[in-house]
Structure 1
């Protein structure tokens, strides 16, 4: 094969790759809404919500018990002197675990632990994705998440505001997805179904600098 033949083969290869990229770009402009991912765990998140409520009530009760039940001890009054008065003894110090400092500290710690447990459980529910929908035209995507007690919530954003830091095959448990302007990552459980893996990789699963 001469030099002209090699040039024609190279040009044909570049043209084929260009047509392949163009087809991949056109494939993202879907003619109707497409479900890319699905993983419904409503029963599990109802249990998480009940656990959060139970933990919140327990730590609130423990904080109230510490506030009401633990009081600082007061020194007993000295008896009346019968002879000449003597110097008054120094006031007795509070015993351990009965001072106001320990009382308020333990009460605040209980409330803080309860807040962290309840807030963490609710945040985990709100960031666990149950369904990803690519809308018609491929320019917008909806992330449908779980909410407390099995309720549903959704967020629709432009596709350009969604970024996936790693490929879905590189994570063992959950795939983190970042949305511009939203605190914390959304989590896609690997146990869920990727109904259209190639389209997912080209749209929601692609990395974008946000």
Structure 2
């Protein structure tokens, strides 16, 4: 997924730079325009407002897609580990460059937003004082489902 994001970023960045540097002013001949002329024949893409807008939008799309994919991978849970003593959970998530990220959280700061048996594809888990939810893939393996349901799988109110 990260390779896809990087390729998309490079594509959209190239497109944006191309729009800024290479689109030339080619005035439209007003005498050739009729009611049947398509909209793209009526505009001059080399005009500053179109050239700058196309370039900026392309750069914005590239940066936005890269950021969204990286946020998704940072919030995708690889392993959820109940630490010894049962007071803390360790979230192991994917990093943007293939390395694992580990976060140790007190169990009272974890809230499961949906019941494990009701979730179809992903199980959202909220950690107190963090942005967005962590997503636990339901295709994964629950080694001890009853233990998960009574610890991390509880819906807590803060």
Query: Which TM-score tier does this pair reach, normalised by the shorter chain?
Result: 0.7 to 0.9
Q: Distance in 1 between matches of 2:73 and 2:99?
A: 10
Aligned to 2:77: 129
Question: Of the two structures, which has the highest relative contact order with CA contacts closer than 8 Å and spacing of 6 or more?
Answer: 1
Q: CA RMSD in A?
A: 1.3
Which secondary structure does the structure 2 equivalent of 1:201 belong to? helix
Residues 162, 208 of structure 1: 8 Å contact kept: yes
Residues 15, 55 of structure 2: 8 Å contact kept: yes
2:13 counterpart of 1:60 = yes
Aligned to 1:190: 138
TM-score, reference length from structure 1: 0.65
Quote the offset at 1:72 in angstroms.
3.3
Aligned to 1:51: 4
Give 1:71's match in structure 2, choosing from 11, 18, 24: 24
Q: Distance in 1 between matches of 2:98 and 2:46?
A: 44
CA offsets, 1:96-146, max 9 Å, x none?
212111011001110111012111111111111111111122111110001
Q: Distance in 2 between matches of 1:184 and 1:126?
A: 11
Q: Which has the higher helix share?
A: 1
Give 2:98's match in structure 1, choosing from 138, 141, 150: 150
Gaps of 5+ in 2: 28-42
Q: Distance in 2 between matches of 1:165 and 1:49?
A: 27
TM-score, reference length from structure 2: 0.86
Residues 26, 44 of structure 2: 8 Å contact kept: no
Q: Distance in 1 between matches of 2:82 and 2:17?
A: 49
Pairs aligned (count) = 143
Q: Distance in 2 between matches of 1:97 and 1:208?
A: 55
CA offsets, 1:36-66, max 9 Å, x none?
xxxxxxxxxxxx1111111111100000000
2:143 counterpart of 1:209 = no
Gaps of 5+ in 1: 1-47, 75-94
